[in-house]
Amino acid sequence: MKKIQHLMLGMLLLVAFTSCASPIKNAKTEILKVAGNCEMCKKTIETAANRKGISSAEWNKDSKILTLQYDAEKTTSDEVLKRIAYAGYDNEKFLAPDDAYAKLAECCKYERMKKDVVVKEPVAKVENTTASAQEQAAETNLLEKVYTAYFALKDALVKDNEAAASAKSTDLAKAIKAVDMSKMSAPEHTVWMKVEKDLLMHAGRIGEAKDINSQREHFSLLSKEMYDLVKVFKADQTMYLQHCPMYNDGAGADWLSLENAVKNPYYGSSMLTCGKTTETIK
């Protein structure tokens, strides 16, 4: 009788374990370098990397190696490494933002990686060495599509078009996710890691917003991050920083424009020309 009871208990435990497990489909495994010091680092790194049924990781504090398994149809190793960087840990693709590193406990403050030792994606050999003008422009302006999507979103708000603003915010999020960080200089990398997460958050909130007032609120915050970018990344054309003194109960708000003439995205047709140009960015 006891043997039967033990057998039944074992079967129940097996069923419970199987039901709780979240096997990763389309599994791909990669071995990656992640900086860190201690068991506290290990917990933080693995928490940032793990997503139920999507990614699972184990970090070794002695070798500094992360063994990552992930569903290749739902995520990429780059996405996982970005999360780890945002948690404060340099890795072979992305350096942690300085403020994230500063928040680590003293025992976790490892020796920082340098930008020039971060692994870059290999560049395929190109037989034809004469690139077109468009290809050369794309190489020098990493954020061309981000800028284009931002100005399209701004124009939709100028026109009081909530549906268009939602659609353009989706385009902006896609452009942000597609930016190739491996081609950035050290100053560019630093500012990008500082603002990328917030850019995506505000773009997402604009897309989800139920009314244009909420969209405009997040656009004002998004514009602050965009300004930080244009001060570091090269742009193909002159941009103008413009200011509306009346928005947000008189606190005011800025936005970027490709034209010096003011077209206010915070009030649209009701006060189209309210505001002024405060800076010309070349």
Average pLDDT over every residue of 36-59: 95
What tens digit of pLDDT does each residue of 60-116 get?
999 999 999 999 999 999 999 999 999 999 999 999 998 899 999 999 999 998 865
Lowest mean pLDDT among 9-18, 56-65, 145-154, 272-281: 9-18
E-state strands within the chain: 27-33, 55-60, 65-71, 239-244, 253-257, 276-281
- pLDDT higher than threshold 50 for residue 120: no
Identify the pLDDT of residue 187. Answer: 86
Identify the pLDDT of residue 182. Answer: 80
Exposed, middle or buried: residue 261 (CB in 10 Å: 0-12, 13-18, 19+)?
Answer: exposed
What tens digit of pLDDT does each residue of 157-197 get?
999 999 999 999 999 999 999 998 888 888 898 899 999 99
Query: What is d(CA 49, CA 85) in angstroms, rounded to the nearest whole number?
Result: 10
Q: By three-state DSSP, how is residue 36 classified?
A: coil
What tens digit of pLDDT does each residue of 206-261 get?
999 989 999 999 999 999 999 999 999 978 889 999 999 999 999 999 999 999 99
Identify the pLDDT of residue 121. Answer: 40
Identify the pLDDT of residue 173. Answer: 96
Strand order in the sheet with 253-257: 253-257, 239-244, 276-281
Identify the pLDDT of residue 1. Answer: 52
Contact of 275 with 244, CB cutoff 8 Å: yes
- pLDDT higher than threshold 80 for residue 10: no
Identify the pLDDT of residue 142. Answer: 85
Query: What is d(CA 45, CA 59) in angstroms, rounded to the nearest whole number?
Result: 7
For residue 258, what are its two tokens? 């490709």
- pLDDT higher than threshold 60 for residue 22: no
Exposed, middle or buried: residue 14 (CB in 10 Å: 0-12, 13-18, 19+)?
Answer: exposed
Q: Is the pTM of this model over 0.85?
A: no
**Residues pairing with 70 in the sheet:** 28, 55
Domains and CATH numbers, the chain: 22-117 (3.30.70.100), 134-281 (no CATH)
Identify the pLDDT of residue 235. Answer: 82
- pLDDT higher than threshold 60 for residue 5: no
Q: Which helix (H) or strand (E) holds 132?
A: none
Identify the pLDDT of residue 176. Answer: 96
DSSP 91: B
- pLDDT higher than threshold 80 for residue 125: no
For residue 119, what are its two tokens? 């692994």
- pLDDT higher than threshold 80 for residue 270: yes
